[in-house]
Homo-oligomer: A and B are copies of this chain.
């Protein structure tokens, strides 16, 4: 691959060519939809020949898989971190929410793509299965925290888990990355999610 301008800046970083291909593909998948995007479109966006793309990936589906894994691997790492915490479920839940916001900020185009996947192909279905594992883990933490008496009993735990991650995922609608990841957004999400917007509420 002749490095595209965007990729050139990354020269020296391992895998920067595949990285440039992924960035271009994910931008197109999100703008036009996966079905409406061809490998030709990706190569045109990068200003390289199609063969240069096929040097890195075997198919559009594989490209989608790499992109979705980028988001899912980030979230899986947060889950692993959370599992290792020796702390009550409520603390682990807060850690999971905060970590998810940070992954979303760092991998914004990849998480945005993940949230729009509908499971029409095996790769998409696999991504949805991994997302469900994440959701199940989160819902389990809410249930445990509720048994511990640490979260409100007046909300169904499944609804609470959906609302928590609905709040996190809603960031893809308006958050635009700033040069350095802004930690105040993760703090704002956790403050509202766990303590509420009202002063002195409880």
What residues of chain A have their CB less than 8 Å away from a CB belonging to chain B? 33, 90, 115, 142, 149-156, 159-160, 162-164, 166-167, 169-171, 173-174, 184-185, 187-189, 191-202
Contacts and interface: CB of A to CB of B under 8 A. Distances in A.
A149 B115 CA distance: 36
Contacts of A200: 202
A118 to B, nearest CB: 10
A150 B199 contact: yes
**How many copies of this kind of chain does the complex include?**
2
Given A162-B174, A185-B159, A188-B160, A199 B167 contact: no
Contact of A159 (B33, B90, B115, B188): B188
Mostly, the A contact residues are helix
Q: Which 5 A-B pairs have the closest CB atoms?
A: A166-B170, A196-B196, A195-B196, A195-B201, A202-B202
A199 B185 CA distance: 23
B167 A197 contact: no
B188 A155 contact: yes
A198 B189 contact: no
17 contacts: A33-B33, A150-B199, A151-B199, A152-B195, A154-B187, A155-B188, A159-B188, A160-B188, A160-B197, A162-B174, A163-B170, A166-B170, A167-B167, A194-B196, A195-B198, A196-B201, A199-B202
A169 B167 CA distance: 9
Given A185-B159, A201-B202, A202-B202, A166 B167 contact: yes
B166 A197 contact: no
B192 A201 contact: no
